[in-house]
Each structure stands twice: as C-alpha cells, then as structure tokens.
Chain A
Amino acid sequence: MGFKNYILVCGGTGCESSRSDQIYHALIDEAVAQGVADQVQVIKTGCFGFCEQGPIVKILPEDSFYVQVKPEDAKELIAEHVIKGREVTRLLYNKAPHKAYEEVEDIQFYQKQMRIVLRNCGSIDPENIDEYIAAGGYKALEKVLFDMTPDDVINELKTAGLRGRGGAGFPTWMKWNFTKQENNPVKYVVCNADEGDPGAYMDRSTLEGDPHSVLEAMTICGHTVGAHQGFIYIRAEYPLAIHRLEVAMKQAREYGLLGKDILGSGFDYDIEIRLGAGAFVCGEETALLQSIEGHRGMPKPRPPFPASKGLWGKPTVINNVETWANVAQIINNGGEWFASIGTPDSHGTKVFALTGKICNSGLVEVPMGTTLREIVYDIGGGIAHGKKFKAVQTGGPSGGVITEENLDTPIDFGGLQRIGSMMGSGGMIVMDEDDCIVDVAKFYLNFTVDESCGKCAPCRIGGKSLYNILEKITQGKGEENDIKQIEQIAHAMKIGSLCALGQTAPNPVLSTLHYFPEEYKAHIVDKKCPSGKCKKLISYEINPSKCIGCTACSRKCPVGAISGEVKKPHKINGNVCIKCGVCKDTCKFSAIEIH
C-alpha cells in the first residue's frame, strides 16, 4: 500500500524564518515515533504564497490547509489527523473541519489567482528533480531539441507575446531573435536574479520553489540562439534560492539534462551561478554583465545592446527569472494559449509581492488585466486594522503610487504607465492613512541615492539634491519654490541619466506630487504633516478631557517627558518629548493627540 497521507510543508524563506524546517523534521520524527512512517510522506515544497499565514502545512488527500503551525504542533497533527483522521480545527485556516466529500470553499486568497509561473510552488519538492519531471518538467526541452527548429521556438514566443517581467516589458522573442541572428560562435544566456526592489520577492520564491523551470528555459534558449553557456546572476543574500539552484543543477547534470550531448541530441550546454553582493544597480543589465565579468557593477551606454554585444563582448540573451519561468509552459501549451490569457497589451500572468498595510500579505499570481482593487481587496483582504486605504506603490523605487481613483485600472504594462507608475518587477506596497506621502517619496529616494553607482552626474548629484529638498520639506523648512526645483531636477535626471536607475529615480517623487499635491502643500506652507509621520512637524498632546490619569503612558515614556498625578490629567513636556509615539499606542482612552 502506498502512502495514505501527504504532508506538504512550505519551505520558502518566509516560512523557514518562522521555523518551517523544524516543523518538517518534527513531522517526520513524530510519524516514526507514532508508528505511521510508512503511511505518510512529508514533503518540503516551495512557497505557497500565503505568507501572512505562514508557516503553512497542507495535508492531502483531505486538502486540509493548516496555518501558523509551530513545531510543537507536529505531534497533534500526526496523532489526530493522520492516525485518527480528525482535522486539527484550531490550526485550520477557516477553523471549520470538513468531511472529504463536502465541497471546500476555496480560500479567498487563491480564488482570483492563476498560477503559471508559480505552478509548481507549493506542490512539488524543489530539491527532487524527479518531481519536476513528473509534473511535466523537461517536456518542453524534449520538444525543442527534437521536434522544433530554433525559428519555431522564436515564433511560438512571438505568438505568445511574452514580454520581459523584469520591469521594462520588452518582447522576449525579439531579444532571442537578435542574439540568434548574430553570427558568432560564442554566445551567452543570462538569468537576471538580482531582485532588489524593496518588498519584492517573486523571483526568490520562484527559484526556491521551482528552480528547474528556470534551468529548463535557459537551456531551451541556449539551443534556440546557439549558446552553450548560461549564467545565473543572483545576490548572495538569497542563500536558500542559491542552495536550491545548486541542488537542481547538480541533479540536472547527473541526468545529463545539463552538460554534454543533452538527451542524445548532440547539444552541449551548462549553467553556472555568479553571486552578486546585493547592489541594486546590478539589476540593470549592462551593470549586471560588468559584474559577472568581474568588474565593478556599473552600467554602460546602450547601444550596443547585450543582444549583440553583451557578456565579454559576445551576443547575450538576458532575461529575468519570471520571464524564464514562463518559457517552458509556452512551449508545452503553445503561444496561442498564452496569448489568450491577459489583455491585448500584456499576455499571461504577473506575480506580485503584496506587502505593507494589507491583511493578507503574500505572493500572488494573477492574469494581466486584473484590477488593483481585486488584488488589494479580494485577494489581499483589504487594509489591515480597519484603516483607510491611501495608495499602492508599484514598480519599487522606479515606479509610482496608485490612488483610490485608479484602483479599477486593469493592471498591465501600458495601463500602469498611463497612470504614472510602472509594472517594475512586481513589488506592491500598500499604504494606509498613517503613511505620509512625502516620507514615502523620501524613503524611495534615499534608497536610490544609496544605490546609485555614481558613474553619471545626473543620477549621482540629482538624486542627492532631490533628497535634500524632501528632507528640508519634512523638517518644516520647505519653501514654495521647492516644487518647481523638484520638477527641474527630475526632468534633468530623466533625460540625462545613463541607466534606468537614474532615469526612473524621480518617479516616486513626481507621482506622489501629482496625486497628493495638497499633502506637499501642507508640509511646505502650513508646516504640518497630516498623517503625523514627520516628527519635526508634529507635537504630541494630552487631551485633558479624555485623560483619566491612569499613568500608563508616563510609565512607558522612554524619556520621562510625561508627568502628572494619579487620576488627574497628565501633561507632555514638548521640550523633552522625542515623538516616538509609544504613549499614543499605550493609551487606552485615545487621550493622546497629534497636533
């Protein structure tokens, strides 16, 4: 008799950081200890995406979705669920047990999602090549090696209309075709896994959950364009993804799916990993190639484009992780299938990392054309703690904010551009009424200033000058002329910077300025921060009619700024107060107000 129960434990970085690795081992140990090791198979999978509720454990065939599991729960899961067949209700997501034949209402988080890139994440063991093969893996490679010509492959990608998922949305088939047409015996294939946008972790999860999908696609590309060597450029701060890639590459080599004469086709191809040190600019393709070559990661003017003169001057195809993860599916299911998903402008799906002030943060994959409202409210469950929605930042430090009025814009490459943001790699940071929009713009600018490589003046000097102006505004020293200056500097950076980092760095400022002019005005003219974030512009005061003198705040205040007698209204000494907000969080009577 085969295994009766299959226990899938999430092995993504998010769940591993809350001890899912210990849960995995505890489940195996408990199964042995309770004598049912032959009845259950415990499998560590990639990311389920529902990171808010992690660590996630799913037990099949009952399809029980357990959330926020702890290693200590392993004993009960084995004893109750596996041995007695009773679901452990307290750990279930919907807290209600069901009989196997009863219709399970889908978890809302997953209802509007469509998984192409993340198809195997959360269902197979990424460290076992056999499971990838069983899930249809390397079928596309078979097809490409034996049944398709390189032109067929490019035409299929053209029909599919796949556009680069790294941010700019350049048609993938064109990149491949440029490199294919180059007459050069040495060509390269590169995977850009230098994911650096704040809050973005789509690529990391894809590599952790389904590394072979990237290896297979890169091999397909190598055969199509005539390259025999691939490189994966990944940052050293993704140790788990690197480990899974290394395991996957080793297994692929053992099977001869990488190396000499792949599957007897006569085609030789191998892939190497190159570790980056985490510089944001190295996500820019020319800087990335410089870094692989061993130079300092700095961008170069384009043209020449990497497709004709890339790594070591050779024609190079460079695509982002998510783009690669789509390729095998397009070969297997056909370009027309892919083109039928999404919008006329952008086909297929997009993975977003939904973070910030949202109820269900996590990884979501939706068809292009899904509206932001669906992502934030239907999938994300709305704003956390009942606060009011303010904006969503997409496209990271290169993108912009999307406000309430544009929540119903279908999300695709063109749609986001029209409302002043961009797709970017897929980070989505949700902000609520407590977030100060000037502060947000300052945060992103601080990031790009820090990450600017310094090669060209518009980015190096312009970024810093913009930052200084914002800093001045948040400190209450803003002048009316500042807005005009921001616009001038931003314009110069856009047209004068060498690479996309500098060209797009002003976007968060311009976009927030466009959608929230009154908030900038409040800072500059009224010297007030409406959301109470900018410390120089606010003061904490106690409303004497609400304060009952419980002394809770004065005991918590780290600098002793609050004084008063028991059962009498307290007072805050503005000269001592550091505006940390602890008193406001402590007060149960809403007596502390920000002015």
Chain B
Amino acid sequence: MAKLSLSDLRSIREREEKNLKKRDIHGRTVHVVVAMGTSGIDAGAKLTLNTIADDVEKLGLDNVIITQTGSAAPNPEPVVEVYMPKTGLVAYGSVDKDAAHRIVEEHLKNGKILEDLRIELVEKEQ
C-alpha cells in the first residue's frame, strides 16, 4: 500500500502552493502602503492594516503587495497609499476600518478611486 496517493500529493501541493505564492512577488502590480509611524498607530493604523490584509486574503487578490512605512504626519492618519498601473498613485487619509473595507472592495478589486477619501499628500516639513 502506497504511503501517499497521487491525490494526496496533489492536495499537499495545492495547500502549500498558496503559502509559497505569498512569497512570490513577481507580477504583483498593486501595492498598498500603510503609514505605521507612532502617530499612525495611535490613530488606528494597525487596525487599518490588518483589515486590508484580511480582506485581500479573503478576496484572493494575489497581485497585491502590502507594505508599511513610517509616519505620514502631518497628513490625516491613518494614511494608506495605493499604487495601481491603471490608477497611478492615490493617497487616502483618515482610513478607519470601514474605509479600509471600501478601499479593498472598490479600489483594489474594481480599480475605482474613492474620491471622498482621497487626499493630497503634504510633505513633512524638514
């Protein structure tokens, strides 16, 4: 009796492929950057980040890279930047949990910019 059948091997591959794919960044064209400086975290950026990450995983959007960056002050935090070849670079301010859901659903999934959340980034004064 074989220890592993053909279908066993295939289900192992299917299960593990998902994990390995997360490390494959080739061909990922959508980038989400969450500002996670102290001020950002204070404003709730951690919840924003986790919400986006969970939703992206739930919807299976495997062309998305989520990264974080330092403080976005003096912009209204939590600040989330989305880059997509189609829409270019868009920044959103005051992104709470609901806004995070909407960004994933509308912008990341459907490529629609959320004008009501959009902000023009102000550079930090040196």
Chain A residues in contact with chain B, CB under 8 A?
A: 1-4, 6, 8, 60-63, 83-86, 99-101, 123-124, 130-131, 133-136, 138-139, 142, 146, 254-257, 259-265
Most buried by B among A63, A84, A142: A84
- Name which residue of chain A comes closest to B37, CB basis: A84
Q: Does B59 contact A (CB under 8 A)?
A: no
A4 to B13, CA, bound (A): 22
Contacting residue for A142 out of B9, B16, B23, B83, CB 8 A: B9
What's the nearest-Cβ distance from chain B to residue A433, in Å? 41
Kindly list chain A residues whose C-beta atoms are within 8 Å of the C-beta of B19.
Answer: 2, 134
Give the 9 A-B CB pairs with smallest separation, nearest first.
A256-B3, A85-B68, A134-B16, A101-B83, A264-B2, A101-B31, A134-B20, A61-B65, A256-B4
Kindly list chain B residues whose C-beta atoms are within 8 Å of the C-beta of A264.
Answer: 2, 5-6
Contacting residue for A99 out of B2, B13, B33, CB 8 A: B33
A86 to B67, CA, bound (A): 10
Q: Does B109 contact A (CB under 8 A)?
A: no
Q: Does B12 contact A (CB under 8 A)?
A: yes
B1 with A60: CB separation less than 8 A: no
A293 to B45, CA, bound (A): 66
8 A-B pairs, CB-CB below 8 angstroms? A1-B53, A60-B23, A84-B68, A99-B31, A139-B13, A255-B4, A261-B1, A263-B5
B57 with A2: CB separation less than 8 A: yes
Per-residue contact bits, chain B 51-74, to A (CB 8 Å; 1 contact, 0 not):
001100100000001111110000
Kindly list chain B residues whose C-beta atoms are within 8 Å of the C-beta of A261.
Answer: 1-2
B13 with A133: CB separation less than 8 A: yes
Q: Given A4-B53, A263-B2, decide whether A131 and B33 contact each other with a Cβ distance below 8 A.
A: no
Within 8 A of A (CB), among B1-54: 1-6, 9, 12-13, 16-17, 19-20, 22-23, 25, 28, 31, 33-34, 36-37, 50, 53-54
Contacting residue for B13 out of A2, A62, A134, A263, CB 8 A: A134
Q: Does B114 contact A (CB under 8 A)?
A: no
Q: Does B117 contact A (CB under 8 A)?
A: no
A265 to B1, CA, bound (A): 10
What's the nearest-Cβ distance from chain A to residue B91, in Å? 12
Contacting residue for A63 out of B2, B13, B25, B66, CB 8 A: B25
Q: A2-B53, A134-B20, A257-B4 are in contact. List 9 more A-B contacts (CB 8 A).
A: A1-B50, A2-B57, A60-B23, A61-B25, A101-B83, A131-B20, A259-B3, A261-B2, A262-B2
Kindly list chain A residues whose C-beta atoms are within 8 Å of the C-beta of B28.
Answer: 61
B20 with A100: CB separation less than 8 A: no
Q: Given A85-B69, A142-B9, decide whether A2 and B22 contact each other with a Cβ distance below 8 A.
A: yes
A1 with B57: CB separation less than 8 A: yes
What's the nearest-Cβ distance from chain A to residue B77, in Å? 14
Kindly list chain B residues whose C-beta atoms are within 8 Å of the C-beta of A8.
Answer: 23
What's the nearest-Cβ distance from chain B to residue A78, in Å? 13
A60 to B22, CA, bound (A): 9
What's the nearest-Cβ distance from chain A to residue B121, in Å? 12
- Name which residue of chain B comes closest to A64, CB basis: B67
Kindly list chain B residues whose C-beta atoms are within 8 Å of the C-beta of A85.
Answer: 33-34, 36, 67-70
A263 to B11, CA, bound (A): 13
A395 to B19, CA, bound (A): 40
- Name which residue of chain B comes closest to A259, CB basis: B3
A130 to B69, CA, bound (A): 32
Q: Given A100-B31, A101-B83, decide whether A254 and B6 contact each other with a Cβ distance below 8 A.
A: no
- Name which residue of chain A comes closest to B84, CB basis: A101
Kindly list chain B residues whose C-beta atoms are within 8 Å of the C-beta of A2.
Answer: 19, 22, 53, 57
Most buried by B among A86, A124, A254, A259: A86
What's the nearest-Cβ distance from chain B to residue A9, in Å? 13
- Name which residue of chain B comes closest to A125, CB basis: B20
B20 with A124: CB separation less than 8 A: yes
- Name which residue of chain B comes closest to A5, CB basis: B67
A136 to B21, CA, bound (A): 12
Kindly list chain B residues whose C-beta atoms are within 8 Å of the C-beta of A134.
Answer: 13, 16-17, 19-20
Kindly list chain A residues whose C-beta atoms are within 8 Å of the C-beta of B57.
Answer: 1-2
A7 to B104, CA, bound (A): 26
What's the nearest-Cβ distance from chain B to residue A106, in Å? 12
A131 with B9: CB separation less than 8 A: no
B66 with A4: CB separation less than 8 A: yes
A146 to B7, CA, bound (A): 12
- Name which residue of chain A comes closest to B20, CB basis: A134
- Name which residue of chain A comes closest to B10, CB basis: A142
Q: Given A61-B65, A84-B37, A101-B31, decide whether A133 and B4 contact each other with a Cβ distance below 8 A.
A: no
A254 with B3: CB separation less than 8 A: yes
A374 to B5, CA, bound (A): 47
Kindly list chain B residues whose C-beta atoms are within 8 Å of the C-beta of A61.
Answer: 23, 25, 28, 65-67
- Name which residue of chain A comes closest to B85, CB basis: A101
A100 with B67: CB separation less than 8 A: yes
- Name which residue of chain B comes closest to A3, CB basis: B22
- Name which residue of chain A comes closest to B54, CB basis: A1
A139 to B81, CA, bound (A): 40
A139 to B12, CA, bound (A): 12
Kindly list chain A residues whose C-beta atoms are within 8 Å of the C-beta of B69.
Answer: 85-86, 99
Contacting residue for B16 out of A60, A84, A130, CB 8 A: A130
Kindly list chain B residues whose C-beta atoms are within 8 Å of the C-beta of A133.
Answer: 9, 12-13, 16
What's the nearest-Cβ distance from chain A to residue B65, in Å? 4
Kindly list chain A residues whose C-beta atoms are within 8 Å of the C-beta of B5.
Answer: 263-264
- Name which residue of chain A comes closest to B53, CB basis: A1
- Name which residue of chain B comes closest to A261, CB basis: B2
A4 to B34, CA, bound (A): 12
A256 with B31: CB separation less than 8 A: no
What's the nearest-Cβ distance from chain A to residue B57, in Å? 6
